[in-house]
């Protein structure tokens, strides 16, 4: 990138100024994560919009780490967001309005420029696919009081927390063991439509935003509560719309990718193997859903395309097998096969 283009991004992109963060602290923003160096003061050239910031304090030698703390931000153009490290509590805290104004002016004057790491722009597209439905209003509605997401705040509260509307609906749905056999697809859609109307203002996008929020909070923020909510949403939504299949495809594509350096860091290291085993809830949901598509007489073309992509991702990344007993798989019918489902191309 030429200097003029870089300067333009510095001026109009958002800046996250992080003061006094100890060396070796693990710090992440969106899909990027690294170990803090001695001169680190934050991140510059951040695209305006929703982002997830997370970190983990370390021991002095950088070998032991505390549970992750994370929070969402909705950054405006040229906005400077300031946080300062509290040594006693080992976490980032807000500063006073007076201090924030002073530090904002310093950032705008490029006083911290050499100590700010640039946002890796090549990874922004991947983050947008993971967060495309998350808005400021969704963050404000879902985030905990204070905004911090951390598993340490969830200990002891999980058993006593009343079940949400989504979880109660899921319990009703999963009373029997089979997803496809036990729940008629029309009944499942009626339940979903009712929930969207009552709890999400009739907006499917808001529900998908909550699904993305939960995935990011559990994968990057390591929140158990967020994982349980993501699991509930996936179990209820599976197969109901093409938009959902696209969201879950990009979530799993990111979560299952191999670490480029072959080390146990990044998203793949944060996923527990038991969640993705052949006996997991996700495997059973996918198996039943693919069978449902195979047996359908009419299938929307876009839904079939994204279902194929999802299936191939799971087979190639996890070695899961969904092949039916018949020689011809419903997902890969020959073009002239008289028994193939009708593919219906719907207008946008």
Per residue in 250-308, pLDDT tens?
Answer: 998 888 876 544 444 444 445 556 666 667 788 888 888 888 777 666 667 777 888 88
Question: Which residues share a beta bridge with 46?
Answer: 14
Tell me how far CA of residue 46 lies from CA of 109, 116, 212, 250, 333, in angstroms. Answer: 17, 11, 20, 22, 45
Per residue in 75-102, pLDDT tens?
Answer: 999 999 999 999 999 999 999 999 999 9
Indicate the helix (H) or strand (E) that contains 80: strand 80-86
In angstroms, the CA 348 to CA 344 distance is 12
Per residue in 19-77, pLDDT tens?
Answer: 999 999 999 999 999 999 999 999 999 999 999 999 999 888 777 888 899 999 999 99
The β-bridge relationship of strands 117-118 and 42-46 is parallel
Three-state SS sequence of 40-74: CCEEEEECCEEEEEEEECECCCCCCECCCEEEEEE
Of 310, 330, 314, 331, the C-alpha closest to 246 is 310
CA angle (134 as vertex; 129, 135 as ends), nearest 5: 135
Is the pLDDT at 212 greater than 80, yes or no? yes
CA angle (238 as vertex; 222, 166 as ends), nearest 5: 65
The verdict on pTM exceeding 0.85 is: no
Report residue 335's pLDDT band, with 50, 70 and 90 as the boundaries. Answer: very low
Mean pLDDT calculated for residue range 227-239 = 83
Question: Which residues share a beta bridge with 84?
Answer: 19, 93
For 91, phi and psi rounded to 5 degrees? Answer: -155, 165
In angstroms, the CA 143 to CA 253 distance is 25
In angstroms, the CA 133 to CA 257 distance is 22
54 touches 70 (CB < 8 A): yes
Instruction: Say which residue, 202 or 98, is predicted with more confidence.
Output: 98
- Maximum pairwise Cα distance, the chain: 73
164 touches 156 (CB < 8 A): no
83 touches 16 (CB < 8 A): yes
Indicate the helix (H) or strand (E) that contains 268: helix 267-270
Q: For 17-21, 177-181, 194-198, 204-208, which range has the lowest pLDDT when averaged over its residues?
A: 177-181
Rg of the Cα trace of the chain? 22
- Please report the sign of the dihedral spanned by the C-alpha atoms of residue 322, residue 326, residue 330, residue 336: positive
Task: State residue 183's pLDDT score.
Answer: 46
**Strands of the 69-75 sheet, one edge to the other:** 32-35, 26-29, 49-56, 69-75
30 touches 127 (CB < 8 A): yes
Mean pLDDT calculated for residue range 235-260 = 79
Report residue 342's pLDDT band, with 50, 70 and 90 as the boundaries. Answer: very low
Task: State residue 49's pLDDT score.
Answer: 95
Q: Which two tokens stand for residue 175?
A: 């009373």
Instruction: Say which residue, 302 or 336, is predicted with more confidence.
Output: 302
């Amino acid at each position: 990138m030429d200097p003029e283009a870089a300067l333009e991004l510095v001026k109009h992109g958002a800046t996250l100024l992080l003061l006094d963060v100890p060396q070796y602290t693990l710090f992440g923003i969106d899909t990027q994560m690294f170990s803090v160096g001695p001169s680190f003061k934050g991140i510059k050239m951040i695209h305006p919009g929703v982002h997830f910031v997370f970190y983990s304090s370390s021991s002095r030698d950088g070998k032991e780490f505390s549970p992750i703390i994370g929070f969402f931000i909705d950054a405006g153009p040229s906005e400077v967001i300031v946080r300062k490290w509290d040594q006693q509590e080992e976490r980032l805290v807000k500063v006073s309005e007076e201090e924030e104004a002073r530090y904002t002016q310093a950032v705008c004057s490029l006083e911290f420029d050499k100590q700010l790491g640039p946002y890796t722009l090549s990874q922004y597209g991947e983050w947008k696919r993971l967060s495309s439905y998350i808005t400021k209003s969704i963050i404000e509605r879902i985030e905990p009081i204070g905004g911090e997401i951390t598993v340490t705040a969830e200990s002891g509260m999980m058993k006593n927390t009343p079940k949400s509307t989504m979880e109660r609906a899921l319990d009703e749905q999963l009373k029997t063991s089979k997803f496809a056999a036990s729940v008629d697809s029309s009944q499942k859609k009626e339940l979903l439509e009712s929930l969207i109307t009552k709890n999400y203002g009739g907006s499917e996008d808001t529900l998908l935003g909550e699904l993305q929020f939960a995935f990011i909070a559990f994968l990057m923020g390591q929140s158990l509560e967020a994982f349980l909510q993501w699991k509930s949403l996936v179990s209820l939504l599976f197969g109901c719309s093409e938009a959902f299949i696209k969201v879950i495809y990009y979530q799993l594509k990111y979560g299952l990718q191999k670490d480029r350096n072959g080390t146990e860091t990044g998203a793949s290291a944060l996923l527990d193997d038991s969640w993705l085993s052949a006996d997991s809830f996700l495997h059973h949901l996918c198996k039943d859903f693919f069978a449902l598509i195979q047996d359908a007489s009419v299938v929307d073309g876009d839904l079939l395309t994204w279902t194929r992509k999802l299936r191939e991702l799971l087979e190639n990344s996890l070695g899961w097998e969904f092949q039916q007993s018949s020689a011809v798989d419903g997902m890969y019918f020959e073009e002239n096969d008289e028994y193939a489902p009708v593919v219906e191309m719907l207008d946008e």
